Structure 1
Amino acid sequence: MSGEHEAVRDLLAAWAVGALTPADERTVPRHLAACESCAAEAERLRETVRLLDGPRVTSTGPATGPVNGAGTGRAARSTRDKEPAGRGRPTGGDDPGDRSAGPDGAAGLPSALLAAARRARPAAPRVAAHAAPYAAAVAGLGALLREPDAPRRWSTPVVHDWDVQATVAHLIAADEPLARRLGLAPRVPGSGGSEKPGWEAAWAARTAEVIAYERVRTPAETVAVWSAQAAALLATPEAEDAGRAAHATTLMGVRLPVADHFVVRAFEAWIHTDDIGRALGLAVPPPPEPHLWQLVRLAVRILGRALGPTAAPVLFAPAGGGPDAQWVLGSEDEPVAAELVLDPVDFCLLIGGRYAPGEVPRGAVGDAAAVTAVLERAASLAWL
C-alpha cells in the first residue's frame, strides 16, 4: 500500500488540474477515498488551482437573455442581469492577475503546492503561432468544464436559448467547417454545413442539428466529442506548419488564410468560455496578451474590410498597443475625422456581440458620427 501511496502523492497535482491519464483516473480516486491524508492534500491542491485561475465573479447571476449578431447582446445582458460596465473584467475582489497572496503563496498555501500545481497544468499542444490562441482557448474551456460546480449545472442558461451543454454542442458545430476543410470527418451525424451563399442559414441549422443530437447524450459525452474534435484540429499539419496554413479558403462567408481561421476559432472558443463562466459565476481571464493581440489584429482587418474605403476615416488605437497597434479605418484619401480608443478585451467583446455599440467603454475625439459608424459596424459583424 505504501508504494501506491507514494505513487498517488506524486499524481495529486495532476489530479487537481484534471491532467491524469485514463489509468490514473481510476487509481487516484480509489486511493483518495481510503486515504485521509492524501484526500486532504488533494483538496488543498485543487483550491490552489482555483485561486491560480482567478476569483469567482460576485453575484452577476446567470445570463438568460439572447445574445445575437446585431450588437444587442450586451444591452440585453445589462438589462436582465444588472451587470456593471466593462464585462471583460471581473467584478469585485482582487485582481486575478495578482497571484502573490503573500510569501507562502495563495491563501497561505505552501509555495511548493503552488509550484506543483503550475507544473501539472496540462500543456497546450505544440503548434505554430497562428494556432496557439486556439490551443489555449480549448485548454481554458476544458479547465472551466472540469470545475467541481460545472457538472452539476449543465442546465444553467448561457446565451440564446442554450444551456451549458448546448453551448458546448454549438462549438462542435462551429468548429466543423474548418475541420471538414482540413480533411476531418464530422463527429456528429447529419447533413453538415454549407459554404455557399446563405451559409448563415446552413450554419444555424447545423448548430440546431448538433444540439438536438447531443441533447439525448450525457453532458460528459458532449464535452468528449468537442474535446476530441478540437484535439484533431490541433493535430492537423496546418496547425503545426505556418506554410501549410497560408492558403486561403472561404469559411463562414469570409475568405481568409487557414491560419486566420484558426484565430477565428480561438475567438469563438474564448467568447463562449466567457459566456459559460459568467453563467456559472466563475471568472474567465482574457486570452494571454500575445494571443489577445492576434485576435485584435484579425478583427481590425475584418472590420476594415466591412467599413470599406469610403467610410469617414477613424484612427483606431486599442489601449496598450503602442505605435505599432494603430490603424486608420475607412477612407485613406481624407484627413482622419476622429480618434477612437478601446480596451482590447472590450473591442473583442464588441466584435463578439457582447457589447451594444453605445455601451462599450471608450475614449473618442472628433466626429462623433464617424465613431458611431465604426462601433455599429463592429458590433454588426458578430454571429456568435
Structure 2
Amino acid sequence: MNEAGRLEAYDEHETDGEKDYEERQHEEKEYEEKEHDGQEPYDGPGEGKDDKTADDGPGGPGDGTPPTTPSPDPDRPPLIPLPRASVEDGGRPLPTPADLGDPAPRPAPLVLEHRVLKALLGAWALAACSPEETAAVEEHLGDCGACADEALRLREAVGLLHQPESLDLDPALRTRVLEGCLERRPPRIPVPGWAAPYDAETARLDALLQDFGDAEWHAPVRLKWFEADKETSRRTTVAGVIAHLLMVDGLVGIGLGLDDPMGDVTADRPTPAARTEAYWRTSHFPPTRSVRAPWREQSHDLVRTVSFTGGTAGRLAISYGDFELPLHDAMLDRAFECWVHAEDIAEAVDYPYTPPSPHHLHDMIDLAARMLPTALAVRRRTGLASPGPGRHLVPAGSPGRSLRLEIEGLGGGEWLIPLDSPAALGSADFEVAHVALDGAEFGRLAAGHVSPTEAAAGQVGDREAIRDVLFAAASLSRM
C-alpha cells in the first residue's frame, strides 16, 4: 500500500471513530432525558418505547441548543450507589442467626435435676461429658456448695491417675501406717523391735506373691551363694524358693517350740541346706503355689510367738546345725534372707523390688558386721585368709588391727572390724584399712550375689586386709 492509500484508510478510521463517539453521546443523552421524565430507560437504540421522543424538546440534538444536565431527583436512588453503612453506625441492633438464615441456631441450655447433675460429677471430672452437660454441670457448681466440694475432690483424685511415677507402693509405707496406728492406739501385745524387720519383709514378699499365676510360680530361679571362695548356684522355681524359706524359718520355729513343717523327716538334718533338699525330694516336685499358705502361716506364728514372750526370749539360742544364733539375731537373719530371695523371685518374673526400709537395712548390716570377725577367724584357720603380720593373739577386750567399714546411703554407718581376733575390739588407733560400699551393695555381697572383687566402691590401706574382709563377707552367704 502506498502513502496515499494509508492516509485514506487512516481518514476513514478516524471518521468511523468520531461517528461511534457521537452515537454513544446521543444514546446517553436520551437515557438521561427519559430518567428525568420518569420513562423507562432503554438499553440501546431501537429498544425504547418511542425513539422519537428523545429528539424532541429543548436540548435535543435537533434544536441546536447546548445540552443541559438534568438535576437529580431527591426522591429517587442515585445512579451510583453510595458506600454501605455499618450496622453499628446506625444504632440498630445486630442481626440474629434467624435474620441471617442460620440453619443451626444454638440449642437451649439443658435443665437437669439436682440428682442428675450430681451423678454427672464423675464424668465431668474425667472430661467425659458432652458440651451441653458440661455447661449445665459448671453452672450448677456455682450455685451448689456441696456439689462444688465433691467436684473438687473428684478432680484431685483424677490428678492421681495421671502421675508419671511408678504405682508400686513405697516399701516404708506399711511401717509408717503401723506407726501411725500404734501412736493412736498402742497394741496390747507389741512386736519386739528386733522382730519388726522379719515382720515387714515377710509381708512385702507375701504382697508380691498374692497376684502370681501358675506360670509365675513355676518361673525358674537360680539361688546363688559363695562356698570356698567360689560362686555356687542351685536351680529351682519360685515355689521352690518359698519352700526353702519355709524350711529354714522352721529352725526358728523349732527353737520356739512350734511344730516343724517337715515333721520327723528331717530330724537328723538340722542344716538349712539339708532341710531344703529333703523337702524338695519328699514333697510334690516341683513345689506348687500351695506352699505359700504354710509359709505365710508359719511367719505369722513366729511373729505372734516372739511377741507373746515380751521380748525376753531374745537371747534364746537358735541352732542352724553348724552354728547358733541368739533369737534376736536369728530373726534379723531370716529378715535378711527373705529380702534377698524376694529379689531373686522379682528378678525371675521381671518385677521391680526395692531394698528394705533404712532402719531395718541398718540392723541387717549391723548383724553382718558383727559376724565378720568370726567368719574371718574361720577362714584364717582353714587357710583361706592371710595369717596377718605375725602378731600374737590379741587378748580378749583389747584393741587390735582394725578395718573401717563405711556403708553409704540410707541405712548406712561405720563399723570398726577387728582383724586379729573375734574377741578383740575394733580401734580407730589401729586402723589399717578403709572400705566404702553402698548399703544394698553390701547386703548383696553378704548374700553371695556380688563378687568380692567387684563390690567395693572405695579402698584405702592394707590391700590384703581389705581382701580378707570382703571375702569373709561373701562367705556369710549360704543356700
Alignment partner for residue 172 of structure 1, among 240, 246, 253? Answer: 246
In the other structure, the counterpart of 2:257 is 183
Label 1:322 to 1:151 Cα distance change in 2 as closer, same or farther (>3 A): closer
Cα distance in 2 for residues equivalent to 1:262 and 1:230 = 11
In the other structure, the counterpart of 1:144 is 208
Cα distance in 2 for residues equivalent to 1:138 and 1:192 = 24
Q: What amino acid is aligned across from residue 191 of structure 2 in structure 1? A: V
Q: What amino acid is aligned across from residue 277 of structure 1 in structure 2? A: A
Task: Give 1:298 shift.
Answer: 0.6
Task: Give 1:211 shift.
Answer: 2.1
Task: Give 1:250 shift.
Answer: 3.4
Alignment partner for residue 154 of structure 1, among 208, 217, 237? Answer: 217
1:220 is aligned to 2:289: yes
1:189-222 CA distances to partner (integer Å, 9 max, x unpaired)? 4422558xxx54xx32321222234435872311
Q: Secondary structure at the match of 1:340?
A: strand
1:121-144 CA distances to partner (integer Å, 9 max, x unpaired)? 996995111111101111011011
Cα distance in 2 for residues equivalent to 1:300 and 1:227 = 29
Cα RMSD (Å):
3.3
1:105 is aligned to 2:142: no
Label 1:286 to 1:224 Cα distance change in 2 as closer, same or farther (>3 A): same
The answer to whether the Cα contact below 8 Å between 1:313 and 1:336 also exists between their aligned partners in 2 is yes
Q: Which moved more, 1:317-326 or 1:330-339?
A: 317-326
Task: Give 1:367 shift.
Answer: 1.6
In the other structure, the counterpart of 1:317 is 406
Q: Secondary structure at the match of 2:194?
A: coil
In the other structure, the counterpart of 2:274 is 205
1:133 is aligned to 2:197: yes
Q: Secondary structure at the match of 2:460?
A: strand
Map 1:37-76 to 2 at 5 A: none
Q: Secondary structure at the match of 2:354?
A: coil
Matched-pair identity in %? 29
Cα distance in 1 for residues equivalent to 2:177 and 2:289 = 19
1:243 is aligned to 2:312: yes
In the other structure, the counterpart of 2:366 is 297
Task: Give 1:364 shift.
Answer: 1.1
In the other structure, the counterpart of 2:74 is none
Label 1:248 to 1:180 Cα distance change in 2 as closer, same or farther (>3 A): closer
Label 1:143 to 1:322 Cα distance change in 2 as closer, same or farther (>3 A): closer
Label 1:347 to 1:301 Cα distance change in 2 as closer, same or farther (>3 A): same
Label 1:155 to 1:184 Cα distance change in 2 as closer, same or farther (>3 A): same
Cα distance in 2 for residues equivalent to 1:143 and 1:322 = 23
Task: Give 1:226 shift.
Answer: 0.8
1:327-356 CA distances to partner (integer Å, 9 max, x unpaired)? 233135883221001111111111111111
The answer to whether the Cα contact below 8 Å between 1:166 and 1:215 also exists between their aligned partners in 2 is no
In the other structure, the counterpart of 1:339 is 434
Cα distance in 2 for residues equivalent to 1:222 and 1:152 = 15
Q: What amino acid is aligned across from residue 469 of structure 2 in structure 1? A: V
Cα distance in 2 for residues equivalent to 1:247 and 1:341 = 34
Label 1:194 to 1:329 Cα distance change in 2 as closer, same or farther (>3 A): farther
1:358 is aligned to 2:453: yes
Label 1:217 to 1:204 Cα distance change in 2 as closer, same or farther (>3 A): closer
The answer to whether the Cα contact below 8 Å between 1:307 and 1:329 also exists between their aligned partners in 2 is no
Task: Give 1:240 shift.
Answer: 5.6
Q: Secondary structure at the match of 1:328?
A: strand
1:49-85 CA distances to partner (integer Å, 9 max, x unpaired)? xxxxxxxxxxxxxxxxxxxxxxxxxxxxxxxxxxxxx
Higher relative contact order (CA 8 A, sep 6+): 1
1:153-199 CA distances to partner (integer Å, 9 max, x unpaired)? 2221112121111111111111111111101112234422558xxx5
Label 1:193 to 1:366 Cα distance change in 2 as closer, same or farther (>3 A): farther
The answer to whether the Cα contact below 8 Å between 2:218 and 2:288 also exists between their aligned partners in 1 is no
In the other structure, the counterpart of 1:377 is 472
The answer to whether the Cα contact below 8 Å between 2:221 and 2:236 also exists between their aligned partners in 1 is yes
Cα distance in 2 for residues equivalent to 1:140 and 1:291 = 13
Q: Secondary structure at the match of 1:158?
A: strand
Q: Secondary structure at the match of 2:455?
A: coil
Alignment partner for residue 329 of structure 1, among 418, 423, 430? Answer: 418
Task: Give 1:252 shift.
Answer: 4.4
In the other structure, the counterpart of 1:285 is 354
Task: Give 1:237 shift.
Answer: 3.5
Q: Which has the larger radius of gyration?
A: 2
Task: Give 1:372 shift.
Answer: 0.9
Label 1:122 to 1:280 Cα distance change in 2 as closer, same or farther (>3 A): farther
Q: Secondary structure at the match of 1:339?
A: strand
Q: What amino acid is aligned across from residue 195 of structure 2 in structure 1? A: A
The answer to whether the Cα contact below 8 Å between 2:433 and 2:465 also exists between their aligned partners in 1 is yes
Q: Secondary structure at the match of 1:326?
A: strand
Equivalenced residues, count:
270
Q: Which moved more, 1:324-333 or 1:336-345?
A: 324-333
Cα distance in 2 for residues equivalent to 1:249 and 1:142 = 24
1:98-135 CA distances to partner (integer Å, 9 max, x unpaired)? xxxx99336449xxxx99xx79x996995111111101
Gaps of 5+ in 1: 1-101
Cα distance in 2 for residues equivalent to 1:275 and 1:127 = 28
Cα distance in 1 for residues equivalent to 2:371 and 2:280 = 29
Label 1:106 to 1:213 Cα distance change in 2 as closer, same or farther (>3 A): farther
- When you count strand as a share of all residues, which structure comes out higher? 2
Q: What amino acid is aligned across from residue 430 of structure 2 in structure 1? A: P
